[in-house]
Structures are given as structure tokens and as C-alpha cells.
Amino acid sequence: MSKQFMEAHIICLWKNLIVGRRIALAGAGKHSIRLIDLLKKHSLPLPLLILDDKIRTSLSSISVTSPELISQTKVPVDLVVISSDIPATRQALTASVRKFLPDIQIVDPYDGMPDGPYEEEKEEDKQQSSILSHENKAELFKLFPNFLSYWTGREEEKASFYSCSRKDNDIIESELLQAGIPVIHHKVDLADFKKWMDAPFKSLKEYYSVAPQISIQKCLEHYLSFKYTAPEAGSTIIDIAACGSPFANILNSLGYDAYCLDMAYPPGINGKQIGCDASNTGLPEAFASSLILHCAFECFMGDADKLFLKEASRIMKKGGKLCITPLYLSRVHINQSSPLCLQDSIIIDQEAKKVWRSDVWNAPFARHYSPAIFYSRVYSGAPTDMNVQVVRIDNLEEISCFFGFNIYNRFMLTAEKKCN
């Protein structure tokens, strides 16, 4: 990101945060020096003090103290801004503030943005950044309202507010059953899952190992879809909304007839790639025995989710199986979007609450259904030749503890096309 963009972002954010607030910075490093210089340049109010575990007398004429010490005093600070553009440092600063000041509001200006550090502009880049086209500048400035909304909005306007507990999952299951949607329970066999990852799907585990925090979750999604659909050797499998996933290639190496399908591919069937809309594929009837979707169905914007089961039934053979995992369910029907995405082309469900994503994926759209809306948008329109059910994974805590990573595959949708 350009220096101009980042400075404009910080200035807009600070102007909105400072009103009626007593702000401290967390972090007594170079970033704080640059930030304070920027505030002085624009004649904006400065932070009251700077928090850092490594105490020093002052920084840029502002007192520095530790979160622990300030927790023992009555210094009137009600908001802390994380002042670093290095991801690991931001996490450490946030943890330190949370430890000693658990009730104080914390703002990370770079949450949801690509990882820094954002270096000072090199001399040879300054000329280039100064001649950005009017179109590019306009596009960048269109994002500012998103950031302002994200940072000044209430917590219930962020996706993280809607994280589900076991109790929430129990209520969701109860509401699904009340709507007439079958729910079955499944316990993941940890020994079998581990064996599956080691062989024959070791290459899948290696592919996702570059992101350890999600590698087990991604492998679990593929394990569940593979185990449920239980494809026979040589049968046709379509990995829908596959993007760059290697799963179809791995399946082909194991003797299956696997395709990957995505709107990003060139239109039509090109080797083992299918470029099309998953809700309107143009494929022949009874083309595949298994359809699998991994962390994908929630991105079907507009009416694509309503149309998908009908299209899935059309292109599946009799006795064919469909697995959507995870199926994102929530107590409240929400549509998520990243503040880093222009909102002009985002279609929000009429019945949804729009919230900002607060993760690193920067996806333009994701849908989490309430049970009632899942029924009206998806289940009620399922073709009569399909048996559709929701599967609840019972031992998420056990899986998370076993591997040491958070697992969020709480529910999935499975369906089988009737033989008669």
C-alpha cells in the first residue's frame, strides 16, 4: 500500500476516534514516532501517553509507561490504539494491553489489511505515487467510509460479535429441527483423520502447511467431504469453487475422475478445469457422482445459493452425493464483507444484517444463515429427488485440543439424490 493511502487512512481514523476520547498509543517504536509526527503535521490532538512493556522516559515528548503500571493508577485513558505495522508486534501489544487493562477498548488501525510492515516510500517511488491516476485515487478514497464504519461502528456491526458457543449451536440445532430440517450428529474419528492426512492425502496437508493456523481446518473439510461422499474408484467428482485447490489433482492421482470448477477459470470444460457459475453450470445431466464444496457455499452471492441445489440435482447421477462443509449457521442471519473491498457490486440479502469481516481474508461477501433463513432460502427449495440434511460435528473441542488449533467446522450440509 502506498504511503499516501496509509497516512490518509490513519488521519481519517484518528479524527473520528479522538472526539471525546482519551487515547493512549501501545508501542514505543518507530511507528509511534512517525504517527506522532503525522498528527503534529496535521495539527491533530496527540495521545495522552504511550504504553510499552519496555519503559522509557518519553517518546516524541510524550510520557511512556507500561500497561501494568497504568492499571495500578487512575490515569484517565479510555481507548488504546495499537501503534505498529508488524503483525507479530501488534499481537504482542494487544495481548499485553488485554492482560492488564481487560476492559479498555483497543483499536488496531491495520486489522483486516494486508500484513505490514509498510515501509517508508523510497525516493524512486515518490514520483510514481505522486502521479497516481485520478481513477486509482478515487478508488482508494472510496474505501475510507468502509474503514470509518468499521472502526467507529458498534461491536455488533463486526463479524466477530457473532461467534457461536456450544450453547448457541444447541439453539441453532433446536431451531433447525423446529423448521423441519433433519439434523444428525457426527463424531470425527481422530485416529482415522490423522491417518488420512498422513497417507494418502499427505500432499494436501503439505499444501496447507504454509498456513498452520488453518491447515487442520482445511484438511478436516476435505476429509469430511471425502468420507461422506465415499467415491468409488473411477467415479466423477467435482470440487466446486475450487480456485487454486490441489484436491482434484490429488484425487486424479488416486484413480478418480476429478474436476475443479470455479468462475475464475476460462469458460467451459478445459481438461480437468470447468469454468462456470456453480448455480448454472451448463454441464450435461447426470455428469458427476459426487459434488463437494469447501468453505465456498457462503460466498454464493445474490440468488446463487437458492438456485444451487436444483442445479446440483440436475448434474448429479442417481445415488450421487453432495457435501457442503462448513455450512455456516448463526443465531442471526448476517452478510459479511471486508472493509478493504469496494461495496458497489456487493449484493446484501434483504433479510440480512450486514457486518464487517474482521479477519485476514478480505473476502467481499460471505453469508451465515440463521436457521429460519436457511430454511426459506435453501432447504425449502430443495428438489424433491434429493434427501437433504444438516450434520453437526460433535467433537470440535476435542479436535481443537488434539491439534492445538481452533476448528470452526460446526455444521455441514449433505444430500443424496434418490435412485427412484
pLDDT tens-digit profile of 38-70? 888 887 888 888 898 876 667 877 888 888 887
Structure confidence at residue 121 (pLDDT)? 43
Mean per-residue pLDDT for 291-306? 96
Q: 399: closest CA among 183, 271, 223?
A: 223
Whether 201 has a pLDDT exceeding 90, the answer reads yes
Residue 411: pLDDT band with limits 50, 70, 90: very high
For strands 58-59 and 62-65, give the pairing.
Answer: antiparallel
Give me the sign of the Cα torsion angle 239, 244, 248, 254.
negative
d(CA 371, CA 377): 10
Which of the given ranges, 55-64, 107-116, 248-257, 393-402, has the highest pLDDT on average? 248-257
Backbone angles phi, psi at 324, to 5 degrees: -115, 115
Whether 309 has a pLDDT exceeding 60, the answer reads yes
What pairs with residue 391 in β-bridges? 184, 412
Residue 126: pLDDT band with limits 50, 70, 90: very low
d(CA 41, CA 344): 33
Mean per-residue pLDDT for 134-161? 77
Number of H helices, E strands in the chain: 15, 18
The single residue listed with the C-alpha cell 423448521 is 179
- Specify the length of the chain in residues: 420
Q: 84: closest CA among 57, 116, 113?
A: 116
Structure confidence at residue 20 (pLDDT)? 65
Domains of the chain (ranges; CATH) run: 3-153 (3.40.50.20), 161-417 (3.40.50.150)
Structure confidence at residue 127 (pLDDT)? 40
- Percent of residues, the chain, with pLDDT higher than 70: 87
Mean per-residue pLDDT for 253-272? 93
User: Which tops the pLDDT comparison, 71 or 397?
Assistant: 397
Whether 320 has a pLDDT exceeding 90, the answer reads yes
Which of the given ranges, 2-11, 56-65, 158-167, 277-286, has the highest pLDDT on average? 277-286
pLDDT tens-digit profile of 127-137? 443 333 444 55
Question: How does 113-124 read in b/e, with b if 16+ C-beta sit within 10 Å?
Answer: beebebeeeeee
Flag the least confident range among 132-141, 221-230, 242-251, 330-339. 132-141
Instruction: Count CA atoms within 13 Å of residue 84 on its CB side.
Output: 16
User: Can you tell me whether residue 317 is helix, strand or coil?
Assistant: strand
Angle between helix 190-198 and helix 212-229 axes, rounded to 10 deg: 100
Structure confidence at residue 210 (pLDDT)? 62
For the question of whether the overall pTM of this predicted structure is more than 0.85, the answer is: no
Angle between helix 30-41 and helix 3-17 axes, rounded to 10 deg: 70
Which of the given ranges, 147-156, 165-174, 333-342, has the highest pLDDT on average? 165-174
Cα 291 to chain centroid distance, Å, stands at: 23
Whether 312 has a pLDDT exceeding 50, the answer reads yes
d(CA 35, CA 81): 11
| Distances 219 to 196, 273, 359 between C-alpha atoms, Å | 9, 21, 20
As a whole number, the mean pLDDT across the chain is: 87
User: Which tops the pLDDT comparison, 283 or 70?
Assistant: 283
Backbone angles phi, psi at 82, to 5 degrees: -70, 120
